[in-house]
Amino acid sequence: MELDILGIVVLIASFLFFLVIGVPVAYSIGLSAIITMLVNMDVLPAISTLAQRMATSLDSFSLLAIPFFILAGQLMNSGGIAIRLIDFAKVVVGRLPGGLAMVNVTANMLFGAISGSAAASASAIGSIMGPQMKKEGYEENFSAAINITSATTGLVIPPSNILIVYSLASGGVSIAALFLAGYIPGILTGLLLMAVGGVYAYRKKYPVGVKVPFKLGIKKFLDAIPSLMMLVIVIGGIVAGFFTATEASAIAVVYCLFLAFFYKEIRVENLPRIIINTVRTTGIVMLLIATSIGLSWVMSYENIPQTVSDGLLSISSNPLVILLMINFILLFVGIFMDMTPAVLIFTPIFLPIVTGPEMGIDPIHFGIIMITNLCVGLCTPPVGSVLFIGCSVANLKIQDVIKPMIPFFIAMMVALLLITFIPSISLVVPRMFGF
């Protein structure tokens, strides 16, 4: 037990030290893994073992889906899809109180689901909706706040790269089941954000959207159908067994490329820039995955997951209390760590606890809990990537946006609690399809 505690202390202390002095997250993870291994190993065996684990961790067919979905997201971001989804959202929810706020959330849910990227969603939707909302009299910090928080819903609504990462970290939970499980939780979160935005808009007397004529509404709906069909093709094909998630990601790229050229928003000379951006993003993600899986192996070697499990179960054996403690820990982790390494590092620690005989939580349900939880961290300083992107797009300082974001944070927390303690929210759709 002394060694386990020492390993935890060395791991946490070294990781926090590297973060504080400004070392990039991926390198902080790798260096803290090596230092933790030095508790039991010499320098050369520690480095060679970690390098071997990192290399073999990327030898996975499922991981091929990530660069393809990233490329699909890049194509969508440049291919005129966002504006068509916004026009469709105006037809559906534009007449509600605070119409443009409702449109912002709905468009983010749709674009985030199709692109699988909260950052791309915050950038694409925010750059279009921000000026429109300002023109209609909405406060800029409110517009940025609702854009930033609603952009994260696309990480839960499939297809989602982070759900693929969780499948890898969990040891093989079905990607199709995770995709199906994300629909209701993602939509629930979006509806709660819309409710908060609607109440705020009603109190501030923000304008209601102009009623869209029936014929124009039909036209906007038909314009959006090709974009929305990607969800049907990708998820439908996976669930029906026509192709795997990796094959679906490649089909998504082909379909997005077709749409981009069909809409005449992308030319052939734009493709090198899009591919280079995809390669850069993929390189960052894969380095995070490799170092995080290496660190997960180190923690397993040091028996850290079992130590943490024993510690939590010694506090309480009540599943509700354990889930609350895990949620608090993940919320804290999300403030300082990006979502991908957090999923890869903490899934091997917490999943055995919640799926053990004492609790019996479904691993699909826990995956949705974890992703929903860590979405909050994307909107909080100091490392909230979506927060920085949303503020940059709106040309605002972070301190200007935090206060109006608080009610939306509360809505996200309510959604998290409902998803945590009502398993059917996550499991009803997968069970309908036999998962």
What is the pLDDT confidence band of residue 2, given thresholds at 50, 70 and 90?
Answer: very low
Name, of 264-268, 351-355, 357-361, the range with top average pLDDT. Answer: 351-355
Average pLDDT estimate for 360-377: 93
Whether the predicted pLDDT of 3 surpasses 60 = no
Contact present, 108 and 368 (Cβ < 8 Å) = no
Whether the predicted pLDDT of 181 surpasses 60 = yes
**Whole-number pLDDT of residue 40:** 66
Whether the predicted pLDDT of 137 surpasses 80 = yes
**Whole-number pLDDT of residue 311:** 79
What is the pLDDT confidence band of residue 202, given thresholds at 50, 70 and 90?
Answer: confident
Average pLDDT estimate for 407-434: 93
111-129 tens-digit pLDDT? 888 777 788 888 888 888 8
What is the pLDDT confidence band of residue 4, given thresholds at 50, 70 and 90?
Answer: low
What is the average pLDDT value for the chain, to the nearest integer? 84
